[in-house]
Amino acid sequence: MTKVFSSNLGYPRIGEQREWKKELEKYWSGKITEDELLKETKALRLQGLKKQQEKEIDLIPVGDFSLYDHVLDTSLMFGVVPTRFQNSGATSALETYFAIARGTKDAVASEMTKWFNTNYHYIVPEFDHVKPILTENKPLTFYKEAKEALGIEGKPVILGPITFLKLGKGYKDESFPKLLNTFLPLYIQVLQELKEAGVQWVQVDEPILGTNLTSSDLEQIKKAYETIAQAIPGINLIIQTYFESVDFYEDIVSLPVAGIGLDFVHGDALNALRQYGFPKDKVLAAGVIDGRNVWRQNLENKLGLLETIKQIVDKDRIIVQPSSSLLHVPVTKSSEKLLDPIIKDALSFADEKLEEVVALAKGLENGKASIVKELENSVQAIDTLNNSKYRKKTASQINPSELSADRALPFSQRISVQKEILQLPLLPTTTIGSLPQTTEVRKQRLKWRKGDITDREYEQYIEAETKKWIEIQEDIGIDVLVHGEFERTDMVEYFGEKLNGFQVTKFGWVQSYGSRCVKPPLIFGEVSFDEPMTVKESIYAQSLTDRRVKGMLTGPVTILNWSFVRDDISRYDVLNQIAVALRSEIEELEKNDIKIIQVDEPALREGLPLKRNKWNEYLDAAVYAFKLSTASVENSTQIHTHMCYSSFGDIFDAISGLDADVISIETSRSHGELISTFEDNTYDKEIGLGVYDIHSPRVPSKEEIKENINRALKTIPANQFWINPDCGLKTRQEAETIAALKLMVEAAIEVRNEQFAAVQDN
């Protein structure tokens, strides 16, 4: 290297206006052909590459684009297709690809779970009964495309073998070395073909290195990269880590590769660099711009960080880049025309982060004087926001330390009070909260936002939808109803529009799973309660029925984890501010005779730090915030919560510590594996393990649902068990939702009767 290169690790795939999502959904609904989908998404992919080229990024990633999920892309590239999809009658590879992700009438979709500690979901590879083959060298295809179409000498991105296999399932830990040996020849073939095509740099993503590794893991990592180096001498690989600092730092930076990518935003990579140095024969790809948050960086401080790194690593062996892929942030702030200039100027979305990276590379190469304007602008924008009214505490703000975080009675005593009041049957049925938001619902909301209909007209429409679905739920026979959340765009964004200290953007979309995009609100100031947010809708729904209707809120940890959080104070301070604000809302619901209140925490497990030595601090803060928000209710008020799946054994004690009366957990795609957690641990509160998957459009059979219920009842007593779908139903169609809920209730009644019969027989 003769200069300080700028680099990017990945670019948002969704487009500035979510064009990607719209094309996917048109294809799934049969409105466009496969060829039309591929044509439109190629144009979108090239548009993103061209933008990076125009921003003067030196090393532009290619192969980071995906039609659904990059882990699933890797699976298909290596022929990792679950047995149930291998002879499914699919007419193309793309049809099989989407079938694995979304399921079919006859086959359950593959498990979907969180990508490390982010809100992005990946499709879990299934390695049992698979004989991998290289079906297509996708990185090579994308490399050639970028070169031919735009003259870009791209940096192919591939998910590394250790991370890919560790994220999968269907093998025992002791079989990992054998599995790795099976895949290494395929990786070598991919990389060899890239080298022969003239590729200069290859980014091999190994974020698993930011987790707690064992000495056995390290042995396999060394073996893998030594095998690759021997097979393809001279190839320039950058092992890219992110989201945390790496364990076994000295061993990792000594691997036989040309470069190592480290995250200097999260973790303590700088301390490791200072303590152990860095090899003279490698480049250091320094992730100094936060790839996961949206706040503008103080470029003077970041340049100072790079100058510190330069004291250890020669300048011409440093690559400047974001800390991770920019998949996790919106595309550009240029579309945000309505934001307060104080807030907007302090933001940095994907496009702006590229500019920050390029400026820092220039400053490191040519000196501070070469980017004086960029430095001054960044500092001024941040100082202006920090000194604004938005970040000043108000006299009305409640101090969390002045509030109790404990219910008046323990669960063992208050549950009998609740059962007496609620009078629910054995195995009560409910849903998680949201009901289908049709095209018409979204259309009416847009008309209201544009001013085409009045507030009252919109309110009447929402009331009509609520009434319709209360009647549907009653007809189906559901025991505890929900109002459907038709007034809400998103479970976090909605509260961001209502609470002080939040700002909602217009185009700040990021991908969550599949074509599902969310708009995380910005927490830019002091958070506080303003006025009731959900009470009116809950009261109206309850007035329509004699059955209990749940009040529905998003919990403090999820609001925090699914927002872009101010970075000038502790995240835990922000978390407690949110908890206090929600406490006021819960008290308002209770005052209006809403006796079941669900406070959802689907992101609690997601936020768990990658390093175990940081878990207790996070879990203690999460449990405290949840209890702070819910502790003031009467013993007779039942608190529910909902969580998404993944390794609940790790946080079992924290789940119990929340002291929620009922918890529902998303489990269906894990095919019952979560139940083993409850076999190994005694859970003394009430629980609902999702009995069917709502992320797939397929309607399950009653037999499937009964099987899931009965499997759970082998471990969980019937008097503690609730029956519900595994998540909210917002993204589903009305017909499939009604059909599935009918089958769920029928299954619940049959199992309920079987339970009664078994008791009588005994």
Q: Which entry of 328, 483, 640, 695 is annotated as an active-site residue?
A: 695
Annotated binding residue 642: yes
| Beta strand segments in 422-487, E | none
Annotated binding residue 419: no
Q: Could you give the CA distance from residue 152 to residue 271 in angstroms, rounded to a whole number? A: 36
Is-contact 17 60, C-beta < 8 A?
no
Annotated binding residue 434: yes
The maximal CA–CA distance of the chain, rounded, in angstroms, is 87
The strand pair at 596-600 and 638-643 is best described as: parallel
Which 8-state DSSP code applies to residue 315? G
Annotated binding residue 488: no
Reported as type and span, the H/E element at residue 50 is helix 34-54
Annotated binding residue 340: no
Annotated binding residue 485: yes
Annotated binding residue 517: yes
- Is 695 part of the annotated catalytic residue set? yes
Annotated binding residue 508: no
Q: Which of 95, 86, 100, 87 is nearest to 33 (CA)?
A: 95
End-to-end CA distance of the chain: 79
Three-state SS for 323?
coil
Q: Which of 478, 475, 437, 426 is nearest to 744 (CA)?
A: 478
Annotated binding residue 666: yes
Structure tokens at 260: 């190592």
Q: What is the 3-state secondary structure (H, E, C) of 486-552?
A: CCCCCCCHHHHCCCEEEECCCCCCEEEECCEEECCCEEEEEEECCCCCCHHHHHHHHHCCCCCECEE
Annotated binding residue 20: yes
Annotated binding residue 442: no
The CA-based dihedral angle spanning residues 289, 290, 294, 300, taken in that order and rounded to the nearest 10 degrees = -40
Annotated binding residue 195: no
Instruction: For the chain, give the number of residues.
Output: 762
CA 733 from centroid of its chain's CA atoms: 23
Three-state SS for 360?
helix
Name every residue whose Cβ is closer than 8 Å to that of residue 571 and which is 6 or more positions away in sequence: 560, 565
Annotated binding residue 114: yes
Annotated binding residue 252: no
Annotated binding residue 289: no
Q: What amino acid is encoded at 91 in this protein?
A: T
Annotated binding residue 562: yes
Q: Could you give the CA distance from residue 280 to residue 531 in angstroms, rounded to a whole number? A: 60
| Ordered DSSP codes for 115-173 | STTSS-EEEPPB-TT--------HHHHHHHHHHHHH----EEEEE-HHHHHHT-BSS-G
Annotated binding residue 376: no
The angle subtended at Cα 165 by Cα 164 and Cα 166, nearest 5°, is: 95
**Binding site membership for 5-methyltetrahydropteroyltri-L-glutamate: which residues?**
18-21, 114, 119, 516-517, 562, 606
**Binding site membership: which residues?**
18-21, 114, 119, 432-434, 485, 516-517, 562, 600, 606, 642, 644, 666, 727
**Binding site membership for L-homocysteine: which residues?**
432-434, 485, 600
**Binding site membership for L-methionine: which residues?**
432-434, 485, 600
Residues annotated as catalytic are: 695
**Binding site membership for Zn(2+): which residues?**
642, 644, 666, 727
